[in-house]
Amino acid sequence: MKKIIHVVGARPNFMKAAPVFFAIRDRGIFEQVLVHTGQHYDEKMSDIFFRQLGIPKPDINLEVGSASHAVMTANIMIQFEQVVLSEKPDLLLVYGDVNSTIACAMVAAKLGVKVAHVEAGLRSFDRAMPEELNRMLTDSISDIYFTTSRDADELLLKIGAAPEQIHFVGNGMIDTLVRLLPEAQKPEELDVLPGGYALVTLHRPSNVDDPDIFPKIWEKLVQLSKEIPVIFPVHPRSRQRMMEMGLVLDGVTLCEPLGYLEFLWLQQNAKLVLTDSGGVQEETTYMQVPCLTLRKNTERPVTVTEGTNILIGRDFNLLESSIRDILNDKAKPGRVPEKWDGDSGKRLAVILEELSVKEIF
């Protein structure tokens, strides 16, 4: 039986890997090894997702922890090389755009192991985003591409991928959402009513690392909280920056990062979501919840062209008018993109079986 290694490292990877792992397991076609790099490592950013999503304990945990980009990437590479040498996989599956994605793809490619990139072909065209560099580099050395949207297929063709390497399977993050939405649960610690609050997540360096920008966004959140309760589960890096910048959020409810089921409930029932997260843009599009993205660009353009997402960038007038529209029940309508239906993991597993039969890996 051929052996596949899955690499996960950070919060958004868990939702994407789970449906692929389960679909392969259900077909019984390959031996699977789950490697966690430990890029995110604590209860709130990692462990809770394994429990809530039902993902088995990783077979191998590299426990790299927090570090600068270079140190983290290098540490993952050093340790993952030993994993590949001892496990001798036939294929590596990497997900999304985190440091673990490129670090492990690079190691496997240099050892002659085929690499499949899940969520390939996304581009924000903003190289100031560390994730954009990870996406570009991972795509440039992958052998097999699984995509979430047709624009990603087009991008991959433009950068020289062959059509037979590209497989439009749909969105794995939405598979997890479809499976677990019936189990979404209201966070006990928050006193909120469905439709009666705005939900905020912010953690991109372009928003939270910039001492000119973060306080301005802060001011807007405080203003918004005078009209509607604002709930902000704070990512660890944003918490750190808030402390460094001495930001005080009068009126806004801050909490720790939430579990998946609790956060899903909050998204589904929010009047509006303000975010810079990639995954949250997609999940709100699926649930048709109004989403305002505090970024100048998005690597997930279908959330704007088809979904409920509006790119706000730094245009605070647009932010105000969009909030006004939503509060007046005139939110931008949206539809669910093609193949965002809960079955992308199954499609992916079938394709892997076919590729294996053809000896592509």
Residue 11 lies near ligand UDP (rule: CB under 6 A): yes
- Nearer Cβ to ligand UDP (179/350): 179
Contacts of 169 (CB under 8 A, 6+ apart): 146, 147, 148, 339, 344, 347, 348, 351
Site for ligand UDP in 266-325 (CB under 6 A): 277-280, 283
Site residue total, ligand UDP (CB under 6 A): 15
Q: Smallest Cα–Cα separation from 314: which of 293, 328, 338?
A: 293
Residue 230 lies near ligand UDP (rule: CB under 6 A): no
Of positions 214, 260, 340, 361, contacts ligand UDP by CB under 6 A:
260
Tell the smallest beta-carbon distance from residue 9 to ligand UDP (Å): 11
- Nearer Cβ to ligand UDP (89/284): 284
| Residue 345 to residue 340: CA distance in whole angstroms | 11
Residue 12 lies near ligand UDP (rule: CB under 6 A): yes
Of positions 106, 242, 258, 272, contacts ligand UDP by CB under 6 A:
258
Identity at 291, one-letter amino acid code: C
Q: Which stretch binds ligand UDP (CB under 6 A): 143-151, 153-161, 220-228, 255-263?
A: 255-263
Residue 9 lies near ligand UDP (rule: CB under 6 A): no
What secondary structure letter does DSSP report for 258? P
Identity at 358, one-letter amino acid code: K
Active site residues: 203
Identity at 130, one-letter amino acid code: P
* H helix or E strand, kind and range, residue 353: helix 344-357
Tell the smallest beta-carbon distance from residue 348 to ligand UDP (Å): 18
| Residue 14 to residue 57: CA distance in whole angstroms | 12
Q: Which stretch binds ligand UDP (CB under 6 A): 120-128, 187-195, 208-216, 252-260?
A: 252-260
- Nearer Cβ to ligand UDP (12/58): 12
| Residue 284 to residue 272: CA distance in whole angstroms | 9
Residue 143 lies near ligand UDP (rule: CB under 6 A): no
Q: Which stretch binds ligand UDP (CB under 6 A): 83-91, 146-154, 220-228, 257-265?
A: 257-265
- Nearer Cβ to ligand UDP (84/280): 280
Contacts of 260 (CB under 8 A, 6+ apart): 15, 48, 49, 52, 53, 176, 180
| Residue 31 to residue 5: CA distance in whole angstroms | 9
Tell the smallest beta-carbon distance from residue 356 to ligand UDP (Å): 29
User: Is residue 138 classed exposed, middle or buried when 0-12, 13-18 and 19+ CB atoms within 10 A define those classes?
Assistant: buried
Tell the smallest beta-carbon distance from residue 95 to ligand UDP (Å): 10
Of positions 79, 201, 225, 303, contacts ligand UDP by CB under 6 A:
201
Tell the smallest beta-carbon distance from residue 141 to ligand UDP (Å): 21
- Nearer Cβ to ligand UDP (55/355): 55
Distant-in-sequence contacts of 139-142, Cβ < 8 A, 24+ apart:
141/105, 141/106, 141/109, 141/115, 142/94, 142/105, 142/109, 142/115, 142/116, 142/117
* H helix or E strand, kind and range, residue 7: strand 3-8
CB 34 within 8 A of CB 56: yes
3-state secondary structure of 190: coil
Tell the smallest beta-carbon distance from residue 234 to ligand UDP (Å): 8
| Side-chain-facing half-sphere of 173: CA atoms under 13 Å | 25
Of positions 30, 80, 145, 263, contacts ligand UDP by CB under 6 A:
263
For ligand UDP, what does the binding mask look like between residues 60 and 99, x meaning CB under 6 A? Answer: ----------------------------------------
Tell the smallest beta-carbon distance from residue 342 to ligand UDP (Å): 14
- Residues near ligand UDP (CB under 6 A) are 11-12, 15, 173, 201, 233, 257-258, 260, 263, 277-280, 283
